[in-house]
């Protein structure tokens, strides 16, 4: 939907807020050579900013009017949408099985098998590449993620 596309666009344009909204991890910060980002503002502040980006120029005049008169009324739908995106993101990940565990979108696109699988599903869930970039190592959002290195060979290590 156009609203979800605006939600994703806001997250892309507001890296710091997105990281704080999804809970920054020490691991991600270390890998990116930066300090962990913690929010001094409550998450509702970011949800309010998101609601503004999504609904202030909505196609539906009734929704636009609701946002203008009661902007706080649309914060809960934004939070609910993240829950829906999380569920769909994990359904998508389950279809990749262990082949995609911990790999980036670019790494997955290099493998013809996973590329075909991903590409066949993107028409139904086009936001997966962005969400995967943000959530792939975050167990709060990616319930399919394996902490194992996808290239590890446990059998040879046991010998």
pLDDT of residue 37: 60
pLDDT of residue 156: 43
pLDDT of residue 47: 92
pLDDT at 36 over 70: no
pLDDT of residue 159: 44
What DSSP letter does each residue of 25-92 carry, written as one string? -HHHHHHTTSPPP--SS-HHHHHHHHHHHHHTT-SSHHHHHHHHH-GGGGHHHHHHHHHHHHHHHHHH
* Spatial CA neighbour of 14 closest among 128, 130, 101: 130
Taking each helix axis from N to C end, the angle separating 75-96 and 112-121, rounded to the nearest 10 degrees, works out to 140
d(CA 117, CA 99): 11
Q: What average pLDDT is seen over the chain? A: 83
First-to-last alpha carbon distance for the chain, in angstroms, is 52
pLDDT range class, residue 28, cuts 50, 70, 90: low
pLDDT digits (tens, 9 = 90+) for 75-93: 999 999 999 999 999 999 8
């Amino acid at each position: 939907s156009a609203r979800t596309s605006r939600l994703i666009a806001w997250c892309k344009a507001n890296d710091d807020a997105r990281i704080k909204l999804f809970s920054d991890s020490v691991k991600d910060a270390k890998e990116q050579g930066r300090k962990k980002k913690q929010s001094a503002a409550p998450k509702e502040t970011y949800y309010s900013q998101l609601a503004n980006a999504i609904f202030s120029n909505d196609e539906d005049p009734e929704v636009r009017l609701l946002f203008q008169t009661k902007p706080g009324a649309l914060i809960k739908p934004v939070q609910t949408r993240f829950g829906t995106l999380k569920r769909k993101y994990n359904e998508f990940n389950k279809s990749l099985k262990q082949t995609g565990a911990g790999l980036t979108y670019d790494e997955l696109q290099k493998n013809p098998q996973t590329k075909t699988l991903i590409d066949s599903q993107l028409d139904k869930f086009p936001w997966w590449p962005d969400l995967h970039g943000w959530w792939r190592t975050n167990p709060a959002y990616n319930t399919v993620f394996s902490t194992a290195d996808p290239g590890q060979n446990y059998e040879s290590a046991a010998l």
